[in-house]
Every structure is written in structure tokens, then in C-alpha cells.
Structure 1
Amino acid sequence: MATISSLGVGSNLNLGDLLKQLQTAESQPLVALSAKAKSYTSKLSAYGSLQSALGVLQSAAKKLSDPALFQTVTGTPSVSGILSASSTDSSSAGSYNITVSQLAQAQSAITAGQASTTTAIGSGKITIDFGTITGGTLDAATGKYSGAGFTPDASRVAKPITIDATNNTLGGIRDAINAADAGVTASIVNDGSGTPNRLVLVSTQTGETSSMRISVDGDAALQNLLNNDPAGTQNLQQTVAGQNAKLTVNGIAITSAGNTVKDAIQGTTLTLVGAGTTGLSMKANTASVKTAINDFVKAYNSLQSTASSLTAYDADTKTGAALMGDSTLRNLQTRIRQALTTPQIGGPNEMKVLTEIGVGFQKDGTLAVDSVKLDKALDANLAGVSKLFASATGSTAGYGKQLDALVEDLNRTGGSLKVATDGVTSTIKELDKQYDAMQTRVDTKVDLYRKQFNQLDVLMSSMNTTLSYLTKQFDAMNAGKGK
């Protein structure tokens, strides 16, 4: 069948514009579906904003729900450069006098010098065990003991290290010791002498019980290099003795294998950095608690601000925000406010409501903090403030724990916010399907119009051709009769 390349050419009619008008008319259901989908998409985005604000509130509540927040104690030394202190036990608060007479250190020993780091020394098996050097006398010049004993640390198992043709140089021995993770680090130091290369062995742990004893089963050269028993043959020179930290806390003598001393003061970690005497003031860290409470109030107020913007009405445009009149949001706000105004269960003299620490609701529904009242509560009864927000594992008491659980419930499968969000998502998917199906119907209908208009064009073109032919024939006949 003949076709027309441009609609209307054959019929001399404006069929192209007519087709566009028909397409617009047929597409009106698509416009309605698109507007409806846009409305639901806006609602889904609004729920996303709401979930984000709730997430901030939940994080703030979760921080307050942890009893450890209220137990943090900050230590302030009167003399710097001796120690630092931190605690997670509020009972450690108080003043202490501490004298550090000795820091813990790791034993270090060096071998005799070697001319080269790449020359083969010997093969065998090296065993390094750890323990305490007892009694005897240390010659500071040679770094060797006389008359000493060695008591192994039974809790530590020695790891044999194999030295063979692949690693029997000074560099290879160093690498083999380091790779064995045997409690020792090895390095090579060049002392600038004729045989400058010396293997340095350092215990990875500080303290007296981490002194080294090294035995070699193998070639004599390897034995002469590394055999070292503080109670017997000593081929290494000790440059640093393994020793414990020594200190007194309020006159009580304390020793520690490391410079991090735990529970010398209950629940407290002392980090020793130098010898000397200092006072130590341990005070509850109420500043961090106050910050957490203020952050919680800000998070709640931010949620209220978000909710207001999502339910607002614009009088100028006469349009409402995406969640105006939304029951899910309204119920959510009600539940949160009820949770914050329901008194906690406690004894007759225990704190039960937020107003007791200076946190209360304003006329506009937001929370405000009376800093003076909060400071007094934190200073006078930190334990009471803790119970107002936090509780031990297994308990549901405390505003922090309850708000955390409430938000979790809203977002869980079957929770009201999750159900609402899933419902909107499902509706959008269904509208997308309807739109695609309607688009297919519109396209099919418009294509049918186009084909019919094309047929009309072809028919009109043919009729115009016939008309022109007949007109010419009649004109010719009339002309003949006139003669």
C-alpha cells in the first residue's frame, strides 16, 4: 500500500497537528498517574527525612543508655611528665599521692660483632625462652651476670627457630627470629668497628619475667654467637635489663610488669611515663555527661523541626507538605513524648523525671535545658542522673534505653514507620506498572491514528489525482464541442 512521508501532504489537511492533539488527549491518564506517583515519591522522601532525624535521636539516646558514660572518671596529675590516668569506675574518685621510682623496661642484648651480614655462620635450632634472672651480680661493663639463677616463666612456651642454608647469615638469622613471632625482635646495628655488625635482640614484653635465655642446638659457630644463659654460658652482652615498674599509691608499694598499671586504684588505668612524685585528682567526668544530655535535647528538637516542616501548610500556594495529616507521624510523636514524660520507676529518694535535672518541655513542644539545674544535679547526684537514663544489661529502665528501644521498634519489620514506608514503596511500584501499561495503550492508539491518517492521505491523494484527470478530460471535451 502506498504511504505518505509527511501527514497531510496527500490530503492537504493539517493531520500532523490533529494527531498531536489526539495524542495529548489520550495521554491525560498518564499525566494523572505521573502526578500521583510524584505525590507518593515526595511522601517516601519525607519518611526518609523522618527516619534520618529519628536515627540521630536514637544515637543520642543510646549513648545515654550506657552506664559506662556516667562512670568515666578523669585523672589530673599535679606534676606533668610522670603519669596519666583514666577510669571507668566512679568509686575511684578522690585524691592520691603517687611516687614512681622505676619504669618497666624490656631486656635488650647484643651479640659479638661480625664482619659481614651476608657471610654464612652456621646452622642449627635456636630456642628462646623467658623468665626471671635471680640473684647474682651484673657486670655493667660486660653486661654479663655472675652467680645468677634463671627461673623460667611456665606460662610461656618457647618457639624453636630453624637456621639452615637458606638463612644462616647474620641477616638471615635476624629475619628468621622476626618471622617466628617468638617474643623477640631482632635488628642489626653497625658500631663502626672492624667487625661492626651486631645482632640486637629485644624482648617484646617489659618486666622481669620477660628476660631471655637462648640455647642453640647446632653448629659451634652459631652456638658461640647466640648461646646465652644468665646462669651459665653468656655469649651476649646485656645492654638493658628487664625490669618491673615500681610505684607507691598513698604509700602502698606496687609493682607491674608493664608501664600500664591497671587497678592499682580500683577501675583505674595508670600510664607511667617517668619517675617522680605527683598528686592525682580523680573526678567524675560530668562534662561528657552534660554534653550527651544536651546532644539528646538537640536531637529531639531537630526531630520536632523536621516533623513541623513535613506537615506544614503553605497558605500562599494552598498546598500542604508531604506528611500533612499523616497518622504515622502523629502517632510517632505522641509515643516519643509519652515515653519522655512517663516517670521512671525508682525508690522514694531517686530521680524519676527529666525536670529534676533541668530538662523540660516548652509550649512549642520542644525541650529546653536549664544548665544551672543540670550542673547541680550532676555534681550532687551523678548516680541518680545515671539511673534516669541508663540501666544494666537486661533492664529496660532509663529514658536513654527506652527511647533507643522505641525507635528500634518503629523501624523494625512490622513497626509502624517501616509498614508505612513499605506501603508507599509498594504503591509507587504499582503506579509505575500502571503507567507503563497505560503508555503502551496510548502508543498503540496513537499508532492506529497515524495509520488511519496515512490511509486518508493516500485516499485523498488518489482522489485528487483522479479529479485532476477528469477535469482535464472534460475541459478537452468542451473545447472539442466549441469547434
Structure 2
Amino acid sequence: MATITSLGVGANLDLATLLTKLETAESQPLVALQAKAKSYTSKLSAYGTIQSALGTLQAAAKKLGDPTLFQSVTGTPTVSGILSASSTDVSSAGSYTIDVSQLAQAQTLVSAGQVDTKTAIGSGKITIDLGAITGGTLNAATGQYTGAAFTADASQPAKSITIDSSNNTLEGIRKAINDANAGVTAAIVSDGSGAPNRLVLTSTATGEKSSMRISVDGDAALQGLLNNDPAGTQNLKQTAAAQNAKLNVNGIDVTSATNTVKDAIQGTTLTLVGTGKTGLAMKENSAGVKTAINDFVKAYNSLQSTAKTLTAYDATTKTAAALVGDSTLRNLQTRIRQALTTPQAGGVNDMKVLTEIGVAFQKDGTLAVDSDKLDKALGANLKGVANLFSSATGSTGGYGKQIDAIVTDLNANALKVASDGVTSTIKKLDDQYDAMQVRVDSTVDRYRKQFNQLDVLIGKLNNTKSYLTQQFDALTKSSK
């Protein structure tokens, strides 16, 4: 069958435009499906926005539901540069006088200088013990002890390190010690002299039990470099002694192997940074609690604002937001508000409702904070405020814990069911669209074939007409 490459040429008709209009008409159901799918996609996106707002609210509630928030105590030294303090025990609140006379530090030993770091020194076995040096005297110039004793620390087993042809240079020895995890780090420092390269050994831990005793079973050169017994031969120079931190807290002497001193004051961690005397005021961290409460109120109000935007209707444009009339959103708002207006059980001196701490609902459904009232509640009864939000450890009481649990349930059930339902609908609409597209394409293809046949037929008829016209004209001329 003859075909027409440009539709309408044979018939001299605008069949291409007609086909386009027919295709547009046939595609109207597709347009409707697209609009419907778009509305459901917007709804799914809106659920995601709600989940995000709920996540922010849950994080704020979870913080208030943690009892440790209300047990935090802030320490303020009267003299800076000596220590910082923090506590998770409200019983530590009070005033203290602390005198730090000595900071904890690790021992450092330095070897004799070597001309080159890559020259072989000797082979053998190095054994490193960690422990305490007691008695005797230290020569500050030589960094060596006289008449001292060394007591190995049984909790830190000795480590042996093999030195052979593969690692018997200064660089190789440094790497071997570092790889051994012997409680010692090694470095090479150049002092700029004729034999500048010195091996520097430092204990990884602070405290008087971090002193080193190093014995070498091997070549004399290796022994001469590293043998070091505080109670005997010492070939290394001590440049820093292993020592405990020493401090006095309200007249009581305290020692610590580290500069992080725990429980010298019950439940408190003191971090020492310098020596000297300072006062220390330990106060309940009501400021942190106030910030957490304000953050919770902001998160709740943000959820309300988000819900209002997603349920808005513009009367001028007659357009509705994605969740207008949505029961899932309405129910979750109601559930959260009901939880926040239900009094807590609490004890005799506990707060029972949010208004007791200055947090109240407004006419528009948001929460507002009376800062002065909140400050008074925190100052007068921090424990009661704590039980309002977190109750006892392991219990489910308290607004913080309850809202946390409600959001978890909403995400796992109501919102998930709603989101899954919308997702399923979108999938069905996609399937309907694909099926409808196939039908539209088939119909338009049928129209195109029919128009092509019409074009061919009319083209033939026009050719026949032209032929007959020519023949009649010829006969007319010949009869004259």
C-alpha cells in the first residue's frame, strides 16, 4: 500500500492538525491522572515535613526525659587557669577551696646523640618495665638517680622487643618501640650538635607508676644506648619525672595519676591545667534545664506552625494545602496536646502540670513561657521540675519521656500507615497512567493509519480526476 510521508499532502487537507487535536482529546484522562498523582505526591511530601517537625520535637523531649540533665552541676573557679569542674551529682553543689600543688605528668627519657639515624647500632632484645621509682636522689644536671629503687607495676606487664638486622638503626628502633604498644612512645629529636640525633622515650600514661626500666640483652652498643635501671646503670637522661597530681580539697590531700581527678568531690570531675589555689562554686545547672525547656516549647510551636501551613486554604485562589482535612495530622496534634495537658502523678513536692513552671497553652494552640515563673521554679524546686519531665530512671512518667514515646509510636504506626497508603495509591495511579498511555498511543496510531489511508485514497482520486480532465480536454479539442 502506498503511504504518505507528510500527512494531508495527498488529500490537500490539514490532517496533521486534526490528528494532534484528537490526540489531545484522547489524552485528557492522562492529564487528570497526572493531576491526581501530583496531589498525592504533595501529600506524601507533607507527611515527610510533619515527620521532620516531630523529629525535632522528639529530640527536645528526649533531652528533657533524661534524668542526667537535671543532675548536672556547673563548677565556676574563682581563679582561671588552674582547673575546670563538672558534675552529674546534685549533692556536689557547694563551695570548695582547692590548692593544686603538682600536676600529673609522664616520664621522658633521652638517649645519647647519634650521628646518623640510618646507621646500624646493634642487635638484641629490649625489655621495658613500667613502675614507680622510690627513694634516692635525682641529679638534675645528669637526669639520673642515686640510691633509688624501682618497683614494677604488676598491672602493666613487661614488653620485649627484638632488634635485629631489619630494624637496628635509630629509625628502626624508634619504629619497633612504637609498634610494640609497650606503654611508651619513641621519637627522634635533632639538637644540632655533631651527633644530633637523640631517641626520646615518653610514657603514654601519666602518674608515678609510669616510670620506665629498660634492660637490653644484646650487643654492647645497643646496651649503651638504651640500658636504663633507676636502681642501677642508667644510660638515658630523665628530662621529665613520672609524677601524680597533688591537690588539697577543703583541707584534704588528694593524689591522682592523671590530671582528670574523679570523685575527689562526689560525682565531680576536676580537670587540672595549672598549679595554684582557687575557690570553686558548684551550682545546679538550672540554666541548661531552662534552655532545654525553651527548646522543647520552640519545637512544639514549630510543629503547630508546620501543621497550620499544611492545612491552610486560600479563599482568594481557592487552593488548599496538601493536608487540608487530613485526619492523621489532626489526630496526632490532638494526641500530643492531650499528653501535655494531662497532670503527672508526681510526689508530694513534685510539679504536676506545665503551668506550675510558667509554660502554658495560648488561644492559637501554641505554648508560651513565662521566664520569671520558670526561673523561680528552677531555683526553688529543681528536683520537682525534673520529675515533671523525666520522673525516676526506668519509669515512663514525665512529659519528656511520654512525648518521646508518643512520637515513636506515631512514626511507627499512624504516620507509617498513612504514608504507605499514599505511596500505594501513587503506585496504582502510575500503573493506570502507563495502561492509559498504551491505549491512547494505540488509538492515535489507529487514527494516523486511517488518515494515511484517506490521504492515499483522495490522492488517487485527485490523480484520476486530473487524468480524466486531461482526456476530456483532448477530446474536445480534437472534435473542433
Deviations 1:426-466 (A, max 9, x none): 11111011111101110110011011011011111111111
What is the aligned partner in structure 2 of residue 470 from structure 1? 468
Displacement of 1:80: 1.3
Q: Give the TM-score of the pair, scaled to structure 2.
A: 0.97
Task: Tell me the SS of whatever aligns to 1:266.
Answer: coil
What is the aligned partner in structure 1 of residue 175 from structure 2? 175
Matched, 1:312 2:285: no
Distance in structure 2 (CA, Å) of the matches to 1:126 and 1:474: 125
Matched, 1:419 2:414: no
Task: Tell me the SS of whatever aligns to 1:79.
Answer: coil
Displacement of 1:41: 1.2
What is the aligned partner in structure 1 of residue 272 from structure 2? 272
Deviations 1:128-150 (A, max 9, x none): 11111122222222222222211
> What amino acid does structure 1 have at the position aligned with 2:371?
S
Displacement of 1:237: 1.9
> What amino acid does structure 1 have at the position aligned with 2:442?
T
- Within-5 A mapping of 1:104-123: 104-123=104-123
Shift in CA distance, 193/23, structure 1 to aligned 2, threshold 3 Å: closer
- Comparing 371-380 with 46-55, greater Cα deviation is found at 46-55
What is the aligned partner in structure 1 of residue 450 from structure 2? 452
- Comparing 165-174 with 77-86, greater Cα deviation is found at 165-174
Distance in structure 2 (CA, Å) of the matches to 1:54 and 1:135: 65
Distance in structure 1 (CA, Å) of the matches to 2:228 and 2:331: 77
Task: Tell me the SS of whatever aligns to 2:159.
Answer: coil
Distance in structure 2 (CA, Å) of the matches to 1:432 and 1:194: 82
> What amino acid does structure 2 have at the position aligned with 1:15?
L
Displacement of 1:392: 4.6
> What amino acid does structure 2 have at the position aligned with 1:33?
L
Distance in structure 1 (CA, Å) of the matches to 2:322 and 2:241: 73
Shift in CA distance, 281/455, structure 1 to aligned 2, threshold 3 Å: same
- Percent identity between the aligned chains? 78
What is the aligned partner in structure 2 of residue 124 from structure 1? 124
Shift in CA distance, 314/123, structure 1 to aligned 2, threshold 3 Å: same
Distance in structure 2 (CA, Å) of the matches to 1:279 and 1:395: 38
What is the aligned partner in structure 2 of residue 77 from structure 1? 77
Deviations 1:332-373 (A, max 9, x none): 110000111111111233111111100010111100000000
Matched, 1:184 2:184: yes
Displacement of 1:193: 4.0
Deviations 1:281-304 (A, max 9, x none): 011111111111111101111111
Displacement of 1:115: 3.0
What is the aligned partner in structure 2 of residue 352 from structure 1? 352
Distance in structure 1 (CA, Å) of the matches to 2:395 and 2:124: 61
- Within-5 A mapping of 1:97-108: 97-108=97-108
Distance in structure 2 (CA, Å) of the matches to 1:235 and 1:227: 6
Deviations 1:12-36 (A, max 9, x none): 2221222122112211111111111
What is the aligned partner in structure 2 of residue 227 from structure 1? 227
Shift in CA distance, 321/189, structure 1 to aligned 2, threshold 3 Å: closer
Distance in structure 2 (CA, Å) of the matches to 1:398 and 1:232: 66
> What amino acid does structure 2 have at the position aligned with 1:434?
Q
What is the aligned partner in structure 2 of residue 60 from structure 1? 60
What is the aligned partner in structure 2 of residue 152 from structure 1? 152
Task: Tell me the SS of whatever aligns to 2:75.
Answer: strand
Equivalent residue for 2:429, pick from 428, 431, 441: 431
> What amino acid does structure 2 have at the position aligned with 1:451?
K
- Within-5 A mapping of 1:320-339: 320-339=320-339
Which structure 2 segments of 5+ residues have no match? none
Displacement of 1:192: 4.1
Displacement of 1:191: 3.5
Distance in structure 2 (CA, Å) of the matches to 1:23 and 1:275: 88
> What amino acid does structure 2 have at the position aligned with 1:205?
A
Q: Give the TM-score of the pair, scaled to structure 1.
A: 0.96
Distance in structure 2 (CA, Å) of the matches to 1:371 and 1:198: 63
Task: Tell me the SS of whatever aligns to 1:8.
Answer: coil
Matched, 1:370 2:370: yes
Distance in structure 2 (CA, Å) of the matches to 1:473 and 1:197: 118
Task: Tell me the SS of whatever aligns to 1:74.
Answer: strand
Deviations 1:104-133 (A, max 9, x none): 111112222333323221101111111111
Distance in structure 2 (CA, Å) of the matches to 1:154 and 1:391: 45
- Comparing 160-169 with 445-454, greater Cα deviation is found at 160-169
In the alignment, is the contact (CA less than 8 A) between 2:123 and 2:222 conserved in 1?
yes
Task: Tell me the SS of whatever aligns to 2:120.
Answer: coil
Which structure 1 segments of 5+ residues have no match? none
Distance in structure 1 (CA, Å) of the matches to 2:230 and 2:137: 10
Distance in structure 2 (CA, Å) of the matches to 1:43 and 1:209: 66
Task: Tell me the SS of whatever aligns to 2:68.
Answer: helix
> What amino acid does structure 1 have at the position aligned with 2:112?
A
Task: Tell me the SS of whatever aligns to 2:213.
Answer: strand
Shift in CA distance, 23/193, structure 1 to aligned 2, threshold 3 Å: closer
What is the aligned partner in structure 2 of residue 202 from structure 1? 202
TM superposition outliers: structure 1 runs of 4+ over 4 Å: none
Displacement of 1:156: 0.6
> What amino acid does structure 1 have at the position aligned with 2:170?
L
Distance in structure 2 (CA, Å) of the matches to 1:402 and 1:194: 73
Task: Tell me the SS of whatever aligns to 1:160.
Answer: strand
- Comparing 140-149 with 246-255, greater Cα deviation is found at 140-149
Distance in structure 2 (CA, Å) of the matches to 1:244 and 1:13: 104
Distance in structure 2 (CA, Å) of the matches to 1:170 and 1:473: 116
> What amino acid does structure 2 have at the position aligned with 1:130?
L
Matched, 1:9 2:23: no
Distance in structure 2 (CA, Å) of the matches to 1:472 and 1:216: 124
Shift in CA distance, 187/472, structure 1 to aligned 2, threshold 3 Å: closer
Shift in CA distance, 253/32, structure 1 to aligned 2, threshold 3 Å: same
Distance in structure 1 (CA, Å) of the matches to 2:121 and 2:361: 81
How many residues align structurally?
A: 480
Distance in structure 2 (CA, Å) of the matches to 1:477 and 1:120: 124
What is the aligned partner in structure 2 of residue 43 from structure 1? 43
Distance in structure 2 (CA, Å) of the matches to 1:246 and 1:453: 102
> What amino acid does structure 2 have at the position aligned with 1:365?
G
Task: Tell me the SS of whatever aligns to 1:75.
Answer: strand
- Comparing 253-262 with 117-126, greater Cα deviation is found at 117-126
> What amino acid does structure 2 have at the position aligned with 1:395?
S
Deviations 1:245-300 (A, max 9, x none): 11110001100011110110111111111211110001111111111111110111
Deviations 1:399-440 (A, max 9, x none): 11111111111111xx01111011111111110111111011
